[in-house]
Amino acid sequence: DAGVIQSPRHEVTEMGQEVTLRCKPISGHNSLFWYRQTMMRGLELLIYFNNNVPIDDSGMPEDRFSAKMPNASFSTLKIQPSEPRDSAVYFCASTLDGISYEQYFGPGTRLTVT
């Protein structure tokens, strides 16, 4: 299996622009997670989907952030408008719920907002 795939790997954008991060989970996994990692705040869970349905979005910082999972093989995290404080590494992870609870992480997208 190819593992969790994220794109782009790096994104540099200007403040105010829309940013869309993409994730393809491992085939057959039914839970998907978006995380944000910064030096100041560490690893934060943003949102958690199960069977394509958002279960917990309490970690989403504010209305500028939105996430979708239109089908079992694709998810997006959108930031509109972006701000410099959104600069971070964003990870997507997936798992097969109820089996081992081991989450498989993608390589991350490094976002820089100038």
Partner 1 sequence: GDSVTQMEGPVTLSEEAFLTINCTYTATGYPSLFWYVQYPGEGLQLLLKATKADDKGSNKGFEATYRKETTSFHLEKGSVQVSDSAVYFCALNRETSGSRLTFGEGTQLTVNP
List contacts with partner 1 (CB under 8 A): 4, 31, 33, 42-43, 45, 48, 50, 55-56, 91, 93, 95, 97-98, 100-108
CB of 72 to partner 1, least distance (A): 15
What Rg do the C-alpha atoms of the chain give, in angstroms? 13
Report the C-alpha gap between 83 and 12 in whole angstroms.
12
Residue nearer to partner 1 on the CB measure, 71 or 99:
99
Neighbours of 106 (CB within 10 A): 22
Residue nearer to partner 1 on the CB measure, 70 or 98:
98
Residue nearer to partner 1 on the CB measure, 64 or 110:
110
**Cβ contacts of residue 29 below 8 Å, gap of 6+?**
94, 95, 96, 104
